[in-house]
Each structure stands twice: as C-alpha cells, then as structure tokens.
Amino acid sequence: MNLTALRFLLSPITSWRAIRMVRSSGWTLSFDAAWRATRTATCPDERVYQSRGHTSDPSAPPRMH
C-alpha cells in the first residue's frame, strides 16, 4: 500500500482537506505537502514532523535526523 492510500485510510478528514488545498492551488502543490500543512494546522502537536521527508531534490535520498 502506498503512502497516499495509507494516509487516506488513517486520516480521511485530513486527506480530504489536503485534496481541497491541492485543487485550490491549481494543482501546483503536491498532495504530500498539502497533507502535511493541513495536518500540522489541525494537530499542532505534530508540527515537529512537518519537515520530515521534504527535500529540494526529489531524487535525493530521505534525510536522517
């Protein structure tokens, strides 16, 4: 199961809000970025996870903290 499907199953309201954010951005925002922004806006205790997984180069390996 891919990450998008897993996120939608585990948190459908956050996923729905992220889809709406992507659509309102004119599809210039990725679902992953929108999901993280939505999640940290509605669940401030998860703000520490916001920067995890975001890299400027999509082909770069994930960062280890």
62 located within any domain? no
Closest to 9 measured CA to CA, from 19, 1, 20: 1
Q: Could you tell me if residue 18 is inside a domain?
A: yes
Q: What is the pLDDT of residues 12-38, one digit of tens each?
A: 999 999 999 999 999 999 998 898 889
| pLDDT tier for residue 59 given thresholds of 50, 70 and 90 | low
The end-to-end CA distance of the chain, in Å, is: 25
Find the mean pLDDT for residues 37-53: 79
* Distance from C-alpha of 1 to C-alpha of 24, rounded to nearest angstrom: 27
Cα–Cα dist 9/56, whole Å:
28
Q: Is residue 39 part of a domain?
A: yes
In this predicted structure, the answer to whether residue 51 has a pLDDT above a threshold of 80 is no
63 in any annotated domain: no
Q: How many domains does the chain have?
A: 1
Tell me which residue range forms the domain holding 39: 3-47
pTM: 0.66
